[in-house]
Amino acid sequence: MKKAISIFATFLSLYTLKAQVASDALRYSYIPQYGGTARAIGVGGSMGAIGGDFSTISTNPAGLATYRTGELVFSPSFHGAKTTSLLDKGGTEETLQRFTKFSLDNLGLVFSNGNTTDKWRTRNFAIGFNRLQNFNSNIFYEGTTTGSITARFRDQANIEGLDEFESKLADSTGAIYTKLVNGQRKYTTDFDLNPAAGVYKSQVIETRGSVSEMVIAYAGNYDEKLQIGGTIGIPFIRFTENKIYKEEDKLNQVPFFEKLQFDQNLTTSGIGINAKLGAIVRPTKSIRLGLAIHTPTKYQLSDSYSNTLYYVYTDSLRYTTEAASPEGDFKYKLATPWRFIGSAGFILGKSGFLSADVEWADYSQANFALDKEYATTQNDVNKQITDRYKSALNVRVGGEYVYDIFRFRAGLGLNGSPRQDKDFWNTTYNAGVGVRGRHFYMDFAWQQRTQKENYTPYKVLLTQANTEQNVTNAYTFNDYVLTFGIKF
Protein backbone atom coordinates (compact mmCIF):
# COMPACT_ATOMS: atom_id res chain seq x y z
CA MET A 1 0.00 0.00 0.00
CA LYS A 2 1.16 3.49 -0.83
CA LYS A 3 -0.49 5.78 1.68
CA ALA A 4 -0.76 9.46 2.41
CA ILE A 5 -0.49 12.14 5.05
CA SER A 6 -2.89 12.45 7.95
CA ILE A 7 -3.92 16.12 8.44
CA PHE A 8 -4.60 15.57 12.10
CA ALA A 9 -1.20 16.26 13.73
CA THR A 10 0.77 13.14 12.87
CA PHE A 11 4.44 12.86 11.95
CA LEU A 12 4.37 10.94 8.73
CA SER A 13 6.56 8.76 6.60
CA LEU A 14 4.81 8.91 3.24
CA TYR A 15 6.20 5.86 1.55
CA THR A 16 6.65 3.03 4.00
CA LEU A 17 3.67 0.76 4.35
CA LYS A 18 3.75 0.38 8.10
CA ALA A 19 3.99 4.08 8.94
CA GLN A 20 1.27 5.02 6.54
CA VAL A 21 -1.42 2.62 7.63
CA ALA A 22 -0.59 3.53 11.23
CA SER A 23 -1.30 7.18 10.41
CA ASP A 24 -4.47 6.14 8.57
CA ALA A 25 -5.74 4.54 11.76
CA LEU A 26 -5.54 7.93 13.40
CA ARG A 27 -6.96 9.82 10.42
CA TYR A 28 -10.19 7.82 10.46
CA SER A 29 -10.42 7.55 14.27
CA TYR A 30 -9.73 11.13 15.30
CA ILE A 31 -12.84 13.34 15.33
CA PRO A 32 -11.73 16.85 16.32
CA GLN A 33 -15.24 18.30 16.56
CA TYR A 34 -18.68 16.75 16.22
CA GLY A 35 -20.85 18.90 14.00
CA GLY A 36 -23.85 18.41 11.83
CA THR A 37 -26.19 21.25 12.75
CA ALA A 38 -25.38 24.92 13.30
CA ARG A 39 -26.83 24.81 16.81
CA ALA A 40 -24.45 22.03 17.88
CA ILE A 41 -21.48 23.74 16.25
CA GLY A 42 -22.39 27.06 17.89
CA VAL A 43 -22.09 25.56 21.38
CA GLY A 44 -18.89 23.67 20.58
CA GLY A 45 -20.55 20.29 20.09
CA SER A 46 -21.43 20.09 23.79
CA MET A 47 -25.04 18.91 23.36
CA GLY A 48 -24.66 15.42 24.87
CA ALA A 49 -26.79 16.07 27.96
CA ILE A 50 -29.09 18.70 26.44
CA GLY A 51 -30.48 16.81 23.46
CA GLY A 52 -33.21 18.08 21.20
CA ASP A 53 -30.80 18.49 18.26
CA PHE A 54 -30.20 16.10 15.37
CA SER A 55 -26.42 16.17 15.85
CA THR A 56 -26.76 14.38 19.21
CA ILE A 57 -27.74 11.21 17.37
CA SER A 58 -24.03 10.89 16.51
CA THR A 59 -22.88 11.65 20.08
CA ASN A 60 -25.53 10.71 22.68
CA PRO A 61 -28.64 9.27 21.00
CA ALA A 62 -30.64 9.66 24.21
CA GLY A 63 -30.94 13.32 23.21
CA LEU A 64 -33.41 12.24 20.52
CA ALA A 65 -35.98 11.59 23.25
CA THR A 66 -36.09 15.32 24.06
CA TYR A 67 -38.04 16.04 20.84
CA ARG A 68 -41.76 16.79 21.29
CA THR A 69 -42.55 17.30 17.60
CA GLY A 70 -41.41 15.89 14.31
CA GLU A 71 -38.71 17.76 12.46
CA LEU A 72 -37.04 18.08 9.08
CA VAL A 73 -33.55 19.59 9.27
CA PHE A 74 -30.80 20.30 6.75
CA SER A 75 -27.53 22.23 6.97
CA PRO A 76 -25.66 23.66 3.96
CA SER A 77 -22.14 24.78 4.79
CA PHE A 78 -19.08 26.63 3.57
CA HIS A 79 -15.65 25.29 4.54
CA GLY A 80 -12.38 27.18 4.29
CA ALA A 81 -8.86 25.84 4.94
CA LYS A 82 -5.69 27.92 5.22
CA THR A 83 -2.27 26.25 5.44
CA THR A 84 1.11 27.87 6.01
CA SER A 85 4.13 25.68 5.30
CA LEU A 86 7.86 26.07 5.88
CA LEU A 87 10.66 23.79 4.69
CA ASP A 88 13.29 23.69 7.44
CA LYS A 89 16.56 25.33 6.41
CA GLY A 90 15.09 25.94 2.98
CA GLY A 91 16.02 29.60 2.86
CA THR A 92 12.51 30.83 2.00
CA GLU A 93 9.58 32.32 3.91
CA GLU A 94 6.40 30.49 4.80
CA THR A 95 4.05 29.78 1.92
CA LEU A 96 0.28 30.17 2.18
CA GLN A 97 -2.40 28.04 0.52
CA ARG A 98 -6.19 28.33 0.73
CA PHE A 99 -9.09 26.07 -0.18
CA THR A 100 -12.85 26.62 -0.02
CA LYS A 101 -15.78 24.31 -0.60
CA PHE A 102 -19.58 24.30 -0.28
CA SER A 103 -21.19 21.13 1.01
CA LEU A 104 -24.07 19.68 2.98
CA ASP A 105 -23.19 18.90 6.60
CA ASN A 106 -26.48 17.48 7.79
CA LEU A 107 -29.83 16.17 6.63
CA GLY A 108 -32.29 14.55 8.97
CA LEU A 109 -35.87 13.59 9.70
CA VAL A 110 -37.29 13.07 13.20
CA PHE A 111 -40.60 11.39 13.96
CA SER A 112 -41.90 12.10 17.46
CA ASN A 113 -44.53 9.99 19.14
CA GLY A 114 -45.63 11.84 22.27
CA ASN A 115 -47.64 9.88 24.80
CA THR A 116 -49.23 11.20 27.97
CA THR A 117 -51.13 8.02 28.89
CA ASP A 118 -48.15 6.16 30.37
CA LYS A 119 -44.75 6.99 31.80
CA TRP A 120 -42.98 6.71 28.44
CA ARG A 121 -43.54 10.32 27.44
CA THR A 122 -41.92 10.05 24.01
CA ARG A 123 -40.86 7.30 21.65
CA ASN A 124 -38.94 8.93 18.83
CA PHE A 125 -37.34 7.69 15.63
CA ALA A 126 -34.85 9.49 13.38
CA ILE A 127 -32.94 8.89 10.17
CA GLY A 128 -30.46 11.04 8.28
CA PHE A 129 -26.75 11.85 8.16
CA ASN A 130 -24.17 14.01 9.90
CA ARG A 131 -20.76 14.95 8.53
CA LEU A 132 -18.08 13.96 11.07
CA GLN A 133 -14.76 14.78 9.37
CA ASN A 134 -13.48 17.04 6.61
CA PHE A 135 -10.17 16.29 4.86
CA ASN A 136 -10.03 19.23 2.42
CA SER A 137 -6.78 21.20 2.32
CA ASN A 138 -4.01 22.46 0.04
CA ILE A 139 -0.29 22.47 0.93
CA PHE A 140 2.65 24.03 -0.89
CA TYR A 141 6.23 24.48 0.28
CA GLU A 142 9.51 25.29 -1.42
CA GLY A 143 13.18 25.92 -0.61
CA THR A 144 16.76 24.91 -1.30
CA THR A 145 18.33 22.22 0.90
CA THR A 146 20.80 19.38 0.63
CA GLY A 147 19.59 15.86 0.00
CA SER A 148 17.34 14.27 -2.63
CA ILE A 149 14.45 11.83 -2.85
CA THR A 150 16.69 9.73 -5.11
CA ALA A 151 18.48 8.60 -1.93
CA ARG A 152 15.20 6.92 -0.98
CA PHE A 153 15.03 5.14 -4.35
CA ARG A 154 18.72 4.13 -4.24
CA ASP A 155 18.51 2.62 -0.75
CA GLN A 156 15.32 0.79 -1.59
CA ALA A 157 16.89 -0.74 -4.71
CA ASN A 158 20.06 -1.81 -2.87
CA ILE A 159 18.32 -3.21 0.20
CA GLU A 160 14.92 -4.44 -0.93
CA GLY A 161 15.22 -4.67 -4.70
CA LEU A 162 13.24 -2.76 -7.29
CA ASP A 163 9.78 -1.70 -6.20
CA GLU A 164 7.40 -1.08 -9.09
CA PHE A 165 5.93 2.04 -7.45
CA GLU A 166 9.22 3.74 -6.54
CA SER A 167 12.75 2.41 -7.20
CA LYS A 168 11.78 0.63 -10.43
CA LEU A 169 10.56 3.97 -11.80
CA ALA A 170 13.87 5.54 -10.78
CA ASP A 171 15.81 2.77 -12.49
CA SER A 172 13.75 3.12 -15.67
CA THR A 173 14.29 6.87 -15.90
CA GLY A 174 17.98 6.94 -14.97
CA ALA A 175 17.41 8.58 -11.60
CA ILE A 176 19.36 5.64 -10.17
CA TYR A 177 21.86 3.46 -11.98
CA THR A 178 24.41 0.78 -11.11
CA LYS A 179 28.19 0.92 -10.83
CA LEU A 180 30.89 -1.43 -9.53
CA VAL A 181 31.63 -1.03 -5.79
CA ASN A 182 34.23 -3.47 -4.43
CA GLY A 183 33.47 -5.84 -7.24
CA GLN A 184 29.69 -5.68 -6.73
CA ARG A 185 27.03 -3.83 -8.66
CA LYS A 186 25.38 -1.19 -6.47
CA TYR A 187 22.83 1.47 -7.27
CA THR A 188 23.94 5.09 -7.05
CA THR A 189 22.57 8.53 -8.03
CA ASP A 190 23.82 11.72 -9.61
CA PHE A 191 23.58 13.33 -6.17
CA ASP A 192 26.22 10.95 -4.81
CA LEU A 193 28.72 12.88 -6.96
CA ASN A 194 28.13 15.98 -4.79
CA PRO A 195 26.20 15.15 -1.58
CA ALA A 196 26.63 18.72 -0.25
CA ALA A 197 24.83 20.31 -3.20
CA GLY A 198 21.92 22.60 -2.48
CA VAL A 199 18.87 21.51 -4.48
CA TYR A 200 15.62 23.43 -4.94
CA LYS A 201 12.60 21.45 -3.75
CA SER A 202 8.85 22.07 -3.85
CA GLN A 203 5.70 20.07 -3.38
CA VAL A 204 1.99 20.56 -3.90
CA ILE A 205 -0.35 18.36 -1.87
CA GLU A 206 -4.11 18.43 -2.40
CA THR A 207 -6.31 16.39 -0.08
CA ARG A 208 -10.06 16.05 -0.51
CA GLY A 209 -12.82 14.06 1.13
CA SER A 210 -14.82 13.51 4.28
CA VAL A 211 -16.47 11.02 6.60
CA SER A 212 -20.25 11.27 6.57
CA GLU A 213 -22.33 9.06 8.82
CA MET A 214 -25.79 7.80 8.01
CA VAL A 215 -27.67 7.41 11.29
CA ILE A 216 -30.77 5.45 12.28
CA ALA A 217 -31.83 6.09 15.87
CA TYR A 218 -34.57 5.35 18.40
CA ALA A 219 -35.02 6.90 21.85
CA GLY A 220 -37.54 7.18 24.64
CA ASN A 221 -38.25 9.48 27.57
CA TYR A 222 -39.37 7.76 30.76
CA ASP A 223 -41.34 9.92 33.18
CA GLU A 224 -39.22 13.03 32.42
CA LYS A 225 -36.46 11.48 34.54
CA LEU A 226 -34.60 9.14 32.22
CA GLN A 227 -33.91 9.22 28.50
CA ILE A 228 -32.33 6.28 26.71
CA GLY A 229 -31.49 5.82 23.06
CA GLY A 230 -29.51 3.92 20.51
CA THR A 231 -28.06 4.65 17.08
CA ILE A 232 -26.83 2.50 14.25
CA GLY A 233 -24.18 4.48 12.42
CA ILE A 234 -23.05 3.75 8.88
CA PRO A 235 -20.09 6.02 8.05
CA PHE A 236 -18.84 6.49 4.50
CA ILE A 237 -15.20 7.42 3.81
CA ARG A 238 -13.94 9.19 0.73
CA PHE A 239 -10.35 10.43 0.76
CA THR A 240 -8.19 11.47 -2.18
CA GLU A 241 -4.68 12.87 -2.24
CA ASN A 242 -2.68 14.14 -5.18
CA LYS A 243 0.99 15.04 -4.63
CA ILE A 244 3.50 16.62 -6.99
CA TYR A 245 7.06 16.65 -5.65
CA LYS A 246 9.80 18.47 -7.61
CA GLU A 247 13.57 18.93 -7.42
CA GLU A 248 15.71 21.17 -9.61
CA ASP A 249 19.45 21.92 -9.73
CA LYS A 250 19.08 25.68 -10.12
CA LEU A 251 22.67 26.28 -8.91
CA ASN A 252 24.20 23.72 -11.30
CA GLN A 253 25.94 21.86 -8.49
CA VAL A 254 24.94 18.27 -9.36
CA PRO A 255 26.67 16.67 -12.36
CA PHE A 256 24.24 15.42 -15.06
CA PHE A 257 21.06 16.11 -13.04
CA GLU A 258 18.70 18.91 -14.07
CA LYS A 259 15.31 18.24 -12.48
CA LEU A 260 12.78 15.59 -11.49
CA GLN A 261 9.09 15.31 -10.66
CA PHE A 262 7.44 12.54 -8.65
CA ASP A 263 3.63 12.39 -8.81
CA GLN A 264 1.51 10.28 -6.46
CA ASN A 265 -2.23 9.73 -6.56
CA LEU A 266 -4.24 7.94 -3.89
CA THR A 267 -7.95 7.29 -3.37
CA THR A 268 -9.36 5.60 -0.28
CA SER A 269 -13.02 4.71 -0.04
CA GLY A 270 -15.08 2.52 2.20
CA ILE A 271 -18.02 1.95 4.47
CA GLY A 272 -18.32 1.06 8.14
CA ILE A 273 -20.81 0.28 10.85
CA ASN A 274 -21.02 1.09 14.54
CA ALA A 275 -23.48 1.36 17.39
CA LYS A 276 -24.00 4.12 19.94
CA LEU A 277 -25.86 3.79 23.21
CA GLY A 278 -26.74 6.69 25.44
CA ALA A 279 -28.65 7.75 28.54
CA ILE A 280 -29.60 11.08 30.10
CA VAL A 281 -30.67 11.34 33.72
CA ARG A 282 -32.60 14.34 35.05
CA PRO A 283 -32.08 14.44 38.84
CA THR A 284 -33.77 17.87 38.93
CA LYS A 285 -35.55 20.05 36.39
CA SER A 286 -32.39 22.08 35.90
CA ILE A 287 -29.69 19.41 35.83
CA ARG A 288 -29.11 16.80 33.15
CA LEU A 289 -26.34 14.19 33.21
CA GLY A 290 -25.49 12.08 30.19
CA LEU A 291 -23.39 9.07 29.32
CA ALA A 292 -22.77 7.59 25.86
CA ILE A 293 -20.77 4.62 24.63
CA HIS A 294 -19.65 4.22 21.01
CA THR A 295 -18.57 0.82 19.79
CA PRO A 296 -15.59 0.61 17.43
CA THR A 297 -16.43 1.38 13.83
CA LYS A 298 -15.70 -1.62 11.63
CA TYR A 299 -14.55 -0.32 8.25
CA GLN A 300 -14.13 -2.13 4.95
CA LEU A 301 -11.66 0.05 3.00
CA SER A 302 -10.14 0.01 -0.45
CA ASP A 303 -7.12 1.93 -1.76
CA SER A 304 -6.28 2.67 -5.37
CA TYR A 305 -2.98 4.37 -6.16
CA SER A 306 -0.43 5.11 -8.86
CA ASN A 307 2.90 6.96 -9.21
CA THR A 308 4.75 8.64 -12.07
CA LEU A 309 8.39 9.78 -12.17
CA TYR A 310 9.86 12.31 -14.60
CA TYR A 311 13.65 12.75 -14.73
CA VAL A 312 15.71 15.19 -16.80
CA TYR A 313 19.51 14.93 -17.09
CA THR A 314 22.31 15.89 -19.48
CA ASP A 315 25.01 13.47 -20.62
CA SER A 316 26.37 15.00 -23.84
CA LEU A 317 22.70 15.24 -24.84
CA ARG A 318 19.70 16.35 -22.79
CA TYR A 319 17.37 13.47 -21.88
CA THR A 320 13.80 13.71 -20.62
CA THR A 321 12.55 10.37 -19.31
CA GLU A 322 9.28 9.18 -17.80
CA ALA A 323 8.06 6.01 -16.10
CA ALA A 324 4.64 5.18 -14.66
CA SER A 325 3.64 2.53 -12.15
CA PRO A 326 0.74 0.14 -12.65
CA GLU A 327 -2.62 0.95 -11.06
CA GLY A 328 -2.40 -0.50 -7.56
CA ASP A 329 -5.26 -1.53 -5.32
CA PHE A 330 -5.48 -2.91 -1.82
CA LYS A 331 -8.43 -3.96 0.35
CA TYR A 332 -8.31 -4.14 4.13
CA LYS A 333 -10.29 -3.66 7.34
CA LEU A 334 -9.95 -1.10 10.11
CA ALA A 335 -11.46 -1.03 13.59
CA THR A 336 -11.46 2.33 15.38
CA PRO A 337 -11.31 2.53 19.21
CA TRP A 338 -14.16 2.58 21.70
CA ARG A 339 -15.41 6.02 22.79
CA PHE A 340 -16.94 7.08 26.08
CA ILE A 341 -18.64 10.47 26.49
CA GLY A 342 -19.75 11.98 29.78
CA SER A 343 -21.99 15.06 29.62
CA ALA A 344 -23.56 17.59 31.94
CA GLY A 345 -26.10 20.31 31.25
CA PHE A 346 -27.63 23.02 33.39
CA ILE A 347 -30.93 24.55 32.24
CA LEU A 348 -31.17 28.26 33.06
CA GLY A 349 -34.94 28.35 33.25
CA LYS A 350 -36.22 29.95 30.06
CA SER A 351 -32.96 31.86 29.55
CA GLY A 352 -30.90 29.07 27.97
CA PHE A 353 -28.39 26.49 29.13
CA LEU A 354 -24.75 25.70 29.89
CA SER A 355 -23.29 22.37 28.86
CA ALA A 356 -20.11 20.32 28.74
CA ASP A 357 -18.97 17.03 27.16
CA VAL A 358 -15.84 15.06 28.02
CA GLU A 359 -14.87 12.34 25.56
CA TRP A 360 -12.25 9.62 26.08
CA ALA A 361 -10.78 7.39 23.38
CA ASP A 362 -7.69 5.18 23.35
CA TYR A 363 -6.26 5.61 19.85
CA SER A 364 -3.63 2.94 20.47
CA GLN A 365 -6.45 0.36 20.30
CA ALA A 366 -7.24 0.99 16.63
CA ASN A 367 -6.20 -1.98 14.55
CA PHE A 368 -6.02 -3.23 10.98
CA ALA A 369 -7.00 -6.62 9.59
CA LEU A 370 -5.22 -7.63 6.38
CA ASP A 371 -5.39 -10.79 4.31
CA LYS A 372 -3.61 -13.83 5.74
CA GLU A 373 -0.68 -13.45 3.35
CA TYR A 374 0.10 -10.12 5.07
CA ALA A 375 -0.05 -11.48 8.63
CA THR A 376 3.46 -10.30 9.51
CA THR A 377 2.78 -6.83 8.13
CA GLN A 378 -0.50 -6.69 10.03
CA ASN A 379 1.21 -7.49 13.32
CA ASP A 380 3.94 -4.93 12.68
CA VAL A 381 1.44 -2.21 11.77
CA ASN A 382 -0.78 -2.80 14.78
CA LYS A 383 2.24 -2.83 17.08
CA GLN A 384 3.32 0.48 15.62
CA ILE A 385 -0.15 1.92 16.32
CA THR A 386 0.14 0.73 19.93
CA ASP A 387 3.62 2.19 20.30
CA ARG A 388 2.86 5.51 18.60
CA TYR A 389 -0.54 6.52 19.96
CA LYS A 390 -2.25 6.78 23.34
CA SER A 391 -5.57 7.65 24.96
CA ALA A 392 -6.72 11.26 24.89
CA LEU A 393 -9.46 13.50 26.21
CA ASN A 394 -11.57 15.85 24.15
CA VAL A 395 -13.36 18.54 26.17
CA ARG A 396 -16.24 20.60 24.77
CA VAL A 397 -18.05 23.38 26.63
CA GLY A 398 -20.69 25.82 25.47
CA GLY A 399 -23.90 27.62 26.17
CA GLU A 400 -27.00 29.20 24.70
CA TYR A 401 -28.74 32.41 25.74
CA VAL A 402 -32.42 32.93 24.88
CA TYR A 403 -33.89 36.34 24.18
CA ASP A 404 -37.45 36.17 22.90
CA ILE A 405 -37.24 34.25 19.59
CA PHE A 406 -33.49 34.79 19.28
CA ARG A 407 -30.68 32.48 20.37
CA PHE A 408 -27.04 33.41 21.01
CA ARG A 409 -24.41 30.69 21.36
CA ALA A 410 -20.72 30.23 22.10
CA GLY A 411 -18.47 27.24 22.66
CA LEU A 412 -14.90 26.03 23.08
CA GLY A 413 -13.26 22.70 22.28
CA LEU A 414 -9.96 21.30 23.54
CA ASN A 415 -8.67 18.18 21.80
CA GLY A 416 -5.89 16.29 23.54
CA SER A 417 -2.88 14.83 21.80
CA PRO A 418 -3.25 11.21 20.64
CA ARG A 419 0.54 10.85 20.26
CA GLN A 420 2.86 9.17 22.71
CA ASP A 421 5.77 11.52 22.02
CA LYS A 422 3.93 14.84 22.33
CA ASP A 423 1.45 16.50 24.65
CA PHE A 424 -0.61 19.31 23.22
CA TRP A 425 -4.15 20.65 22.96
CA ASN A 426 -5.74 21.67 19.67
CA THR A 427 -8.32 24.39 20.20
CA THR A 428 -11.66 24.96 18.50
CA TYR A 429 -13.60 28.25 18.84
CA ASN A 430 -17.33 28.38 18.17
CA ALA A 431 -20.10 30.98 17.99
CA GLY A 432 -23.62 31.09 16.61
CA VAL A 433 -27.01 32.77 16.47
CA GLY A 434 -30.49 31.54 15.71
CA VAL A 435 -34.14 32.42 15.31
CA ARG A 436 -36.83 30.06 16.61
CA GLY A 437 -40.48 30.10 15.60
CA ARG A 438 -43.31 27.74 16.29
CA HIS A 439 -42.96 25.77 13.08
CA PHE A 440 -39.67 26.98 11.63
CA TYR A 441 -36.17 27.85 12.82
CA MET A 442 -32.90 28.98 11.32
CA ASP A 443 -29.44 28.81 12.91
CA PHE A 444 -26.04 30.05 11.83
CA ALA A 445 -22.67 29.01 13.29
CA TRP A 446 -18.98 29.69 12.82
CA GLN A 447 -16.22 27.36 13.90
CA GLN A 448 -12.44 27.82 13.78
CA ARG A 449 -10.00 24.99 14.42
CA THR A 450 -6.21 25.20 14.39
CA GLN A 451 -3.50 22.55 14.47
CA LYS A 452 0.11 21.93 13.49
CA GLU A 453 2.08 19.00 12.15
CA ASN A 454 5.58 18.07 11.08
CA TYR A 455 5.69 16.42 7.69
CA THR A 456 8.48 14.38 6.07
CA PRO A 457 8.25 14.39 2.25
CA TYR A 458 10.27 11.19 1.93
CA LYS A 459 12.04 8.70 4.18
CA VAL A 460 15.43 7.14 3.44
CA LEU A 461 16.11 3.57 4.52
CA LEU A 462 19.67 4.22 5.70
CA THR A 463 20.41 6.92 8.27
CA GLN A 464 22.28 9.67 6.50
CA ALA A 465 22.77 13.32 7.41
CA ASN A 466 21.10 15.99 5.27
CA THR A 467 19.05 13.56 3.18
CA GLU A 468 15.60 13.76 4.78
CA GLN A 469 13.53 16.90 4.88
CA ASN A 470 11.13 18.35 7.44
CA VAL A 471 8.20 20.65 6.71
CA THR A 472 6.16 22.44 9.37
CA ASN A 473 2.49 22.85 8.43
CA ALA A 474 0.09 25.06 10.38
CA TYR A 475 -3.62 24.70 9.58
CA THR A 476 -6.55 27.00 10.22
CA PHE A 477 -9.99 25.63 9.37
CA ASN A 478 -13.04 27.91 9.30
CA ASP A 479 -16.51 26.42 8.90
CA TYR A 480 -19.74 28.38 8.37
CA VAL A 481 -22.94 26.38 8.72
CA LEU A 482 -26.56 27.43 8.15
CA THR A 483 -29.29 25.13 9.44
CA PHE A 484 -32.96 25.21 8.46
CA GLY A 485 -35.53 23.31 10.46
CA ILE A 486 -39.23 22.66 9.89
CA LYS A 487 -41.34 21.30 12.75
CA PHE A 488 -44.41 19.19 12.19
Residue 186: inside a domain? no
Distance CA 211, CA 133 (A): 5
What span, in angstroms and rounded, lies between the C-alpha atoms of 482 and 437? 16
Burial (CB < 10 A; 0-12, 13-18, 19+), residue 123, is: middle
If you average pLDDT over residues 94-118, what whole number do you get?
Answer: 92
DSSP 3-state assignment of 87? strand
Return the pLDDT at 14. Answer: 35
Q: Is the pLDDT of residue 18 over 60?
A: no
**Residue 7 domain flag:** no
Is there a domain that residue 34 lies in?
Answer: yes
Contacts for 76 with CB less than 8 Å, ≥ 6 apart: 102, 103, 104, 105, 481, 482
Q: Return the pLDDT at 463.
A: 64
Residue 181 belongs to some domain of the structure = no
Q: How far apart are CA 183 and CA 203, in angstroms?
A: 38
- Check residue 336 and report its DSSP letter: P
191 found inside a domain: no
pLDDT at residue 465, as a whole number: 56
Considering the domain boundaries, does residue 413 fall inside one?
Answer: yes
pLDDT at site 291: 98
Residue 3 has pLDDT above 90, yes or no: no
Can you give the residue range of the structural domain that contains 81? 12-146+199-487
With the CA atoms of 231, 71, 442 and 394 taken in that order, what torsion angle do they form, in degrees rounded to the nearest 10?
Answer: -10
- Say if 439 falls within a structural domain: yes
Q: How many domains does the chain have?
A: 1
Mean pLDDT of 329-338: 96
Mean pLDDT of the chain: 92
Check whether 13 has a pLDDT greater than 60. no
The answer to which of 1-10, 123-132, 393-402, 450-459 has the lowest mean pLDDT is 1-10
CATH of the domain at 303: 2.40.160.60
Q: Is the residue at 257 inside a domain?
A: yes
